[in-house]
Amino acid sequence: MKNPLIAVAALLAVAAPGGTLKAASFENVTVYKEPGRFGGWPANNGVWSWGDEILVGFSQGYFKKVESGHAIDGSKPSVPRFARSLDGGRSWKIETPSFLDANGKEKEATDPPGGVDFTNPNFAMTLRMVSSRTGFSRFYYSYDRGKVWQGPYSLPAFGRKVISARTDYIVNGKRDAMAFITSGKENGREGRVFCTRTTDGGKTWKFVSWIGPEPPGFSIMPSTVRLSPKVLLTTLRQKEGESSWIDSYISEDNGGNWRFLNRPVESTGTFVGNPPSTIRLKDGRIAMTYGYRSAPFGIRAKLSNDGGKTWGSEIMLRDDAGCGDLGYPRTVQRSDGKIVTLYYFNDANDAERYIAATIWDPGTSPAR
């Protein structure tokens, strides 16, 4: 008997109005959904995969109907949770993080001891902010695929008033890793993105470079991939005035300097836009997914065949949400080549928010 939480469809990848494509095949899966609850923001928490085992973090709170903004009840507790799949995203189990105490609280961060082995085959690291309005952020790591976490360990403030860390990192070697973090601007407001690096297993983190100039609005929530030993590509959530979009930057000296590359997505809709999730596929292409917060509300994707220099037509993964309180995707590729994109979603403005996944086929790389 088929899983009743899975809706399966097969559509031709043909042009739709506005040049948008439909994915050749996809499955929409419910990951976490409870009446009266709010499940949100995978991009704030992270995703990790080991073959067909996938772990994604999200926030679990209480639903509260609002006219606009996030439909979460701020007067009630919100806690981190994980969802784990052992079958490539078709079924999921919810887990309580080991770093929470019996009351669901996280302990105070301590100074990192260093010596983390970033190359452990079962390694995972999560970088977390206390809030987007304070200057404190922390990190945890695991050697058993996120079942038991070490930490929290303090991240430095790098001389900024606000450090809003989310999980975006690249492993370079056993004790060597880079993280890409949003900080406050000179006026203390969010935000501007920078690159930091540790070469002693997380004991010390040093500022490496800013990614782009300080914006009039904000430039936040990077998603970064390595293209070669020296080349890095990152995509950023951008907002200025009423406009929201996604920009890309490239570094050709391993993070030392960055230059603007292009604007892959001209608009992510209203409601202050949505962050990208960018991964490098096994065949070398780049896949980027993001939420779209104007009608038709949903989840979209783009593919690049040349390291982000150019991008194909927009791919519509979903356009059936009830409002713009959605998105914040994280994406991985399965062992069979299909992509699993995780995000938060809604069926109506007055309905609970939940975590969902779309399993979709990116097709094959065109001949060069």
Could you tell me the residue ranges of all domains in the chain?
A: 6-360
Element (H, E) at 312: none
Neighbours of 263 (CB within 10 A): 14
Residues 6+ apart with CB under 8 A from 66: none
- Chain center to CA of 138: 17
Sign of the torsion angle spanned by Cα atoms 223, 341, 305, 294: negative
165-201 burial, b at 16+ Cβ within 10 Å, e below that, comes to bbbbbbebeebebbbbbbbbbeeeebbbbbbbbbbeb
Angle at 258 between CA 284 and CA 133, to 5 degrees: 105
The tens place of each residue's pLDDT in the chain, 368 residues long, gives 334 334 433 333 444 445 677 776 789 999 999 999 999 999 999 999 999 999 999 999 999 998 878 999 999 999 999 999 999 999 999 999 999 988 889 999 999 999 999 999 999 999 999 865 667 899 999 999 999 999 999 999 999 989 999 999 999 999 999 999 999 999 888 899 999 999 999 999 999 999 999 999 999 999 999 999 999 999 999 999 999 999 999 999 999 999 999 999 999 998 789 999 999 999 999 999 999 999 999 999 999 999 999 999 999 999 999 999 999 999 999 999 999 999 999 999 999 999 999 999 999 876 44
Q: Nearest to residue 275, comparing CAs of 206, 190, 177, 348?
A: 190
- 8 Å CB contact between 286 and 368: no
Selecting from 2.130.10.10, 2.120.10.10, 3.40.50.620, 2.60.40.10, what CATH number does the domain 6-360 have? 2.120.10.10
